[in-house]
Amino acid sequence: MESLTINKNSLSSNSNIIGDSLKEFLDRKVEEYNQPSFIENDPVSIPHMFARKQDIEIAGFFAAILAWGNRTTIINKCKELMKMMDDEPYEFIISHNQKDLKPLLQFKHRTFNSTDLLYFIEVLRFQYTDKKNLKTFKEPTLESAFLVELDPADDSIEDGLNGFYHRFFSLEHVPNRTKKHIASPQKKSSCKRLNMFLRWMVRKDDKGVDFGIWENIKPSQLICPVDLHVARVARRFGLISRKQTDWLAALELTSHLKRLDANDPAKYDFALFGLGVMERF
């Protein structure tokens, strides 16, 4: 493991500088893990099965929401779900009938069950067929659901995430149990899975991992996804001081990462995740 000399005092929230040694190290790790070879064994492989924008959005959304536990299991369950949708998730969402939904009653991943899945499908159909969105956007997109409460001038996606939560659960009949599967800053969650999904949809580069198919959310507004692995590495570098791995911890981490790259702080997710999961740093 590469040795680092990092003055943790220079990483405090009152500092205007993060040491060059840390930036250089994390930049190298971003280059190492932000590669096509990363895709195969990661949930991001699920949206990479598709070419159509709406299929990518839906497959990516489910892959992110189901992304807890063993990664191999996550990928297999997502492939199972896509198969249940005839590997055409967008057409399934907007065109299914009651008979088409019957096989989905057998789907389960950890605490996500068929009740949750059927509501997700219902609200996605609402999103993609809402005529109000079609007046604003050239084509149906899930992106608009994150723009309901987001101001283009906002520093972060926080209001966008809260707005998405409100819209997602705006239908008349919402299973109470399903609400636990969509996080929001207002519930103090780090929103790891939604932030990961947003990274996939928003970030633009030439590496081939993230898609960059959304135009109305800026990469600078993204919040770095934080799970226990990322948080452990970030605390080791002094990038998180909070004991809780919550929304404030995600904001704290991202504020430090913006000093490394103000326009694209979420790219460091590759470095921190790679160090935490691949290298057990």
Q: What's the average model confidence in pLDDT over 11-25?
A: 58
Neighbour tally for 143: CB within 10 Å: 21
Q: What's the average model confidence in pLDDT over 8-17?
A: 38
Residue 9 has pLDDT above 60, yes or no: no
- Among positive and negative, which fits the CA dihedral 112, 115, 118, 124? negative
Residue 134's pLDDT is 74
- Among positive and negative, which fits the CA dihedral 274, 258, 203, 223? positive
First to last CA, the chain: 8
Residue 235's pLDDT is 97
Count the residues in the chain. Answer: 281
What CA–CA distance (Å, rounded) separates 22 from 257? Answer: 10
Residue 135's pLDDT is 72
- Among positive and negative, which fits the CA dihedral 68, 73, 76, 80? negative
What CA–CA distance (Å, rounded) separates 254 from 211? Answer: 21
Q: What's the average model confidence in pLDDT over 47-53?
A: 98
Lowest mean pLDDT among 98-102, 130-134, 204-208, 243-247: 130-134
Give the pLDDT band (50/70/90) at residue 20. Answer: low
Residue 10 has pLDDT above 50, yes or no: no
Contact 20, 27 (CB under 8 A): no
Contact 211, 56 (CB under 8 A): yes
- Inter-helix orientation angle 53-65/114-129, to 10°: 150
Residue 132 has pLDDT above 90, yes or no: no
Dmax (CA) for the chain in angstroms is: 62
Going from N- to C-terminal start, the domains of the chain cover: 8-33+224-278, 49-202
pTM, 2 dp: 0.91
Q: What's the average model confidence in pLDDT over 225-232?
A: 96
Residue 138's pLDDT is 83
Residue 168 has pLDDT above 70, yes or no: yes
Q: What's the average model confidence in pLDDT over 72-92?
A: 98
Residue 113's pLDDT is 98
Residue 12 has pLDDT above 80, yes or no: no
- Inter-helix orientation angle 158-168/192-202, to 10°: 110
